[in-house]
């Protein structure tokens, strides 16, 4: 790869006009060898035009799709990247990443796409409006209701990413924005922008990316914020200082969220003494965080907070583990397990930060800042001054509360070891970081975990408790997962990413909507009590294509007798006293005497509303939100009203899901029970097969 790295803007690949020269753009070099890879510049790019293209073309193309349709496209994108994953691995090695590093970045990014595709189809409706919380009755007669809804923002999601995770870091922003229906403008960090260009190109070449939904700008973007306004978002990952500068540039209506560097901690519990599974797990975890991505992770352990008596044992255990498992060198060389930093500039920054830690009272407990011996791509060994190599370093402090160790981050394979005597001290040291993305605690003592959690949770976006029970299955201190939030308070940026569907909602606006049941039904795609209903043909005889919200069946009544209650009790084994002992039931403050089982009533309700013959209803797959409200005594009667509440076609199946509003009433029209019935219904009625026999009276041959 040589020349100028393209951007993808307004549906076309673009590079600055003219021939690239030594003076144009920024040169990116291989951090292992120093060889030039590519030049990066966006000089002359029409950024205002790109934003307008996203707001018009991108919004229109994504707005025509439902959540489920967007989710299925995310799965297609994940499969496309999986098919061409080796191309990304080869480029990642040029950025200094080992196979393990690439796994966390490339496979991790693909995993985000798969996760949001799955969650989008399971947790979002097949529509364009997301409901937040239950309906709120605002009038006694039910004629005026309110509820909260989410709708997509009308602008563009600007995503500014860090150099260390050019695939995962970008896709974890892109996937939820795409699912929400908001187009993305991706701005990668220059040192690894060629990896971002590669994954974007793979997706574009599928021909399945909706027009305007994904754009890439390779290079600096001066003036970009001048064109942002209400409805636009900025998601930034990088240094706290850069985040502060960008936040000041953002107009008041722009949603700005940041995930920045933080001085993450890992606490070795007082019970996790040498020889315990927790101590061994802690050592493995610390070594992984020092060496994966050469320590260039916003979630890496920067402060190892350790009982005073275990400091020496920990340092020696880490030293032995590194000697046994870590081979520093060019990732393309066989056997190398740790690569260089992303650039020589980054190497110099890390060494300067280590120098600042030493000047503040720190001393090297493990490793040296001298140029290390490394394995070159051809298998030879030696020093490589042209490379960006730094070996793993542990820094010790006599004063664990020294200001510098809680403020200076060496963004590389560097961690400080801090001793504590009490849990109060350990918690206080964690909190001195001023807000972190993650803290981990290695302990098998629930009491230790509970005390630390109460003290440190407010200072962290995520807390991981590592013990012998999960040491082998834990995803690790430094590995955010798409199901849980990623972000943190204070120094960590105060933002939040991932967290399942929470991340999708960051690109949507929550609005309180008020109106009649009929209006809310039309606006939300969910039938509300009091809206119009249709009775007549039994709704179980209707295919998904025929079924409408408000289709309803009102059953006949059925009397409940004492024999019914006793039969059900003996048949099921549920002989709870409220159903079998009159005196005990009367003594209960909730019952007038013996009452029917709630599940007897639900079972009978199914018998009252069901149409039993074969038809479009394929299966009942669950009940939700079941509440028993009024007890039913022998001699009472019940009836059920079943109403089509929500209709969700499945994009890839010949059936869909129907949610039915079920209400059981007694002879006084009092609410006995309310719940939702979930069924699978065929999209079309089965076509009747022609008769094998000929017409009546026809002669046989």
What residues act catalytically? 259, 298
Residues 178 and 205: beta-carbon distance below 8 Å: no
Position of tokens 């009433």?
665
Tokens of 119: 């969650």
Residues 70 and 208: beta-carbon distance below 8 Å: no
DSSP H helical segments within 420-482, as ranges?
A: 423-431, 446-456
Count the residues in the chain.
Answer: 701
Q: Which of 176, 267, 40 is nearest to 504 (CA)?
A: 176
Tokens of 291: 């060496």
Distance of CA 662 to the CA centre of its chain: 33
> Residue 596 and residue 635: Cα distance in Å, rounded?
10
Residues 415 and 395: beta-carbon distance below 8 Å: yes
Q: Which of 14, 85, 6, 84 is nearest to 38 (CA)?
A: 6
> Residue 129 and residue 523: Cα distance in Å, rounded?
8
Question: What is the H or E stretch that residue 75 is in?
Answer: helix 67-83
Tokens of 507: 């690109």
Residue 319 phi/psi, 5-degree rounding, is -60, -45
- Ranges assigned E (strand) in 188-264: 214-216, 233-238, 255-260
Longest dimension (CA), the chain: 108
DSSP states of 114-141: HHHHHHHHHHS-SSS-EEEEEEEE-STT
What residues have CB less than 8 Å from 563, skipping those under 6 apart? none
Distance of CA 360 to the CA centre of its chain: 39
Q: Which of 141, 140, 123 is nearest to 132 (CA)?
A: 123
DSSP H helical segments within 186-306, as ranges?
A: 193-205, 240-249, 277-291
> Residue 526 and residue 658: Cα distance in Å, rounded?
11
Residues 28 and 36: beta-carbon distance below 8 Å: yes
Other CB atoms within 10 A of residue 506 CB: 22
Other CB atoms within 10 A of residue 471 CB: 16
Tokens of 624: 């939700």
Residues 517 and 142: beta-carbon distance below 8 Å: yes
C-alpha angle 479-482-485 in degrees, rounded to nearest 5: 85
Three-state SS at 247: helix
Question: What is the H or E stretch that residue 460 is in?
Answer: strand 460-466
List beta partners, residue 28: 38
Residues 550 and 564: beta-carbon distance below 8 Å: no
> Residue 430 and residue 428: Cα distance in Å, rounded?
5
């Amino acid at each position: 790869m040589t020349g100028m790295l393209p951007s993808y803007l307004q549906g076309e690949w673009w590079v600055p006009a003219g021939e690239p020269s030594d003076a144009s753009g920024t040169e990116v070099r291989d951090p292992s060898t120093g060889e030039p890879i590519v030049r990066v510049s966006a000089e002359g790019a029409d950024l205002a035009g790109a934003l307008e293209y996203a707001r018009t073309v991108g919004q229109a193309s994504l707005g025509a799709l439902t959540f489920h349709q967007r989710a299925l496209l995310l799965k297609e994108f994940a499969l496309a990247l999986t098919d061409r994953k080796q191309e990304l691995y080869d480029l990642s090695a040029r950025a200094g990443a080992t196979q393990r590093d690439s796994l966390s970045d490339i496979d991790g990014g693909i995993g985000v796409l798969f996760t949001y595709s799955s969650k989008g189809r399971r947790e979002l409706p097949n529509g364009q409006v997301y409901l937040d919380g239950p309906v709120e009755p605002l009038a006694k007669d039910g004629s005026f209701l309110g509820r909260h809804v989410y709708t997509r923002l009308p602008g563009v999601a600007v995503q500014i990413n860090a150099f260390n995770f050019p695939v995962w870091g970008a896709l974890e922003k892109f996937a939820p924005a795409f699912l929400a229906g908001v187009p993305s403008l991706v701005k990668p960090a220059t040192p690894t922008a060629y990896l971002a260009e590669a994954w974007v190109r793979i997706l574009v070449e599928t021909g399945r990316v909706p027009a305007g939904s994904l754009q890439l700008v390779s290079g600096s973007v001066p003036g970009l914020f001048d064109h942002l306004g209400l409805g636009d978002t900025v998601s930034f990952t990088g240094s706290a200082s850069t985040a502060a500068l960008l936040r000041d540039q953002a107009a008041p209506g722009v949603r700005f969220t940041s995930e920045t560097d933080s001085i993450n901690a890992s606490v070795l519990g007082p019970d996790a003494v040498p020889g315990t599974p927790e101590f061994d797990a802690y050592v493995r975890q610390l070594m992984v965080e020092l060496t994966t991505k050469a320590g260039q992770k916003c979630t890496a352990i920067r402060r190892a907070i350790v009982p005073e008596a275990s400091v020496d044992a920990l340092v020696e255990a880490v030293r032995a583990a590194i000697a046994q498992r870590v081979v520093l060198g060019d990732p393309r060389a066989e056997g190398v397990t740790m690569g260089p930093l992303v650039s020589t500039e980054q190497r110099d920054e890390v060494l300067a930060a280590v120098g600042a830690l030493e000047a503040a009272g720190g001393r090297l407990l493990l490793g040296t800042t001298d140029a290390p011996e490394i394995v070159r791509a051809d298998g030879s060994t030696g020093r490589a001054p042209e490379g960006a190599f730094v070996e793993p370093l542990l820094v010790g402090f006599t004063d664990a509360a020294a200001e510098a160790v809680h403020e200076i981050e060496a963004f590389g394979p560097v961690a400080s070891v801090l001793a504590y005597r009490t849990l109060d001290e350990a918690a206080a040291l964690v909190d001195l970081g001023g807000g972190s993305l993650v803290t981990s605690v290695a302990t098998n003592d629930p009491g230790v975990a509970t005390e630390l959690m109460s003290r440190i949770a407010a200072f962290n976006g995520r807390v991981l408790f590592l013990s012998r029970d999960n040491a082998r299955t834990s995803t690790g201190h430094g590995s955010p997962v798409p199901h849980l939030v990623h972000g943190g308070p204070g120094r960590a940026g105060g933002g939040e990413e991932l967290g399942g569907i929470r991340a999708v909602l960051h690109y949507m606006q929550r609005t309180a909507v008020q109106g009649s049941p009929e209006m809310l039904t039309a606006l939300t795609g969910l039938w509300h009590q009091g809206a119009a209903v249709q009775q007549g043909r039994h709704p179980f005889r209707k295919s998904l294509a025929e079924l409408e919200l408000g289709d309803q069946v009102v059953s006949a009544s059925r009397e409940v007798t004492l024999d019914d209650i006793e039969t059900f009790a003996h048949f099921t084994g549920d002989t709870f006293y409220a159903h079998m002992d009159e005196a005990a039931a009367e003594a209960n403050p909730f019952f007038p005497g013996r009452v029917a089982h709630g599940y007897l009533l639900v079972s009978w309700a199914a018998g009252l509303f069901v149409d039993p013959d074969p038809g479009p209803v394929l299966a009942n797959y669950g009940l939700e939100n079941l509440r028993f409200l009024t007890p039913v005594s022998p001699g009472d009667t019940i009836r059920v009203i079943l109403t089509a509440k929500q209709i969700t076609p499945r994009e890839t199946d010949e059936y869909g899901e129907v949610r039915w509003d079920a209400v059981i009433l007694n002879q006084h029209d009092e609410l006995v029970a309310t719940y939702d019935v979930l069924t699978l219904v065929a999209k079309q009625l089965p076509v009747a097969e022609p008769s094998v026999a000929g017409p009546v009276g026809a002669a046989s041959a």
